[in-house]
Amino acid sequence: MSKVTVVDHPLIQHKLTIVRDRLTNTKTFRENVNEIGSLVTYEITRDLQTKEIEIETPITKTKAKILAKDVVIVPILRAGLGMVDGIQNVIPTAKIGHVGMYRDEVTLKPTKYYAKFPKEIVDATVLIVDPMLATGNSAIAAIDEVKKTGAKDIRFVGLVGCPEGIKALQEAHDDVDIYIISIDEKLNEKGYIVPGLGDCGDRLFGTK
């Protein structure tokens, strides 16, 4: 079974409260989602492997460590975009892939309309990013797409999840560890997380 890590650092929880508040405006919402993206990345990448290379400091030659593997960030469109800059701020060498999903009106299943990945993804540590882990359907389908590339080291990164989404994701992809900053109470009948933060895409992009 995959590991679920709730990253409950006080700074992150403080920023999450700002993000949850319905009175928070679009600019502040976007800034805080990105800042959480940066902070949570420290936890997600804590166990990444490093390798030694030789460099020269202004004083002498020395051995020093760098990341052993590439990191590829894959936001699920559109809300996942809200965390990308924050994550990339702390991993500037990360490449970005994209997966776009829409919900088919008839089957209600998430359907891919766009997928583009950097070639490095096969051997990289892949961070699938979606702030909301609600039903888990989009995350499951996005990970299906990423796995088609041959990528194996995949982690899911979100802000707010719920027991239903976590269970679904763990059942579908038990090799994908989940990093989240809050496990909320439940999903409501409209598919929103309760208490949640509302529609993350709308709040990020001011579309409502």
Our finding on whether 121 is near ligand URA (CB under 6 A) is: no
Among 134, 166, 176, 180, binds ligand URA (CB under 6 A): 134
Which residue's structure tokens are 């899911």? 156
Transcribe 52-99 into DSSP letters: EEEEE-SS-EEEEEEESS-EEEEEEETTTHHHHHHHHHH-TT-EE-EE
Our finding on whether 159 is near ligand URA (CB under 6 A) is: no
Residue 125's contacts (CB-CB under 8 Å, 6 or more residues apart) are: 45, 48, 69, 70, 71, 72, 153, 155
Give residues 20-79 in contact with ligand URA (rule: CB under 6 A).
79
Our finding on whether 205 is near ligand URA (CB under 6 A) is: no
What's at 176, amino acid-wise?
Answer: V
CB of 199 to ligand URA, least distance (A): 4
Rg of the chain (C-alpha set): 18
CB of 113 to ligand URA, least distance (A): 17
Among 129, 132, 142, 176, binds ligand URA (CB under 6 A): 132
d(CA 117, CA 157) in angstroms, rounded, equals: 17
**Beta carbons of 34 and 28 less than 8 angstroms apart:** no
Among 38, 89, 120, 192, binds ligand URA (CB under 6 A): 192
How many chain residues are in contact with ligand URA, going by CB under 6 A?
10
Among 199, 204, 206, 208, binds ligand URA (CB under 6 A): 199
d(CA 89, CA 37) in angstroms, rounded, equals: 9
CB of 191 to ligand URA, least distance (A): 6
Binding-site ranges for ligand URA (CB under 6 A):
79, 132, 134, 191-193, 196, 199-201
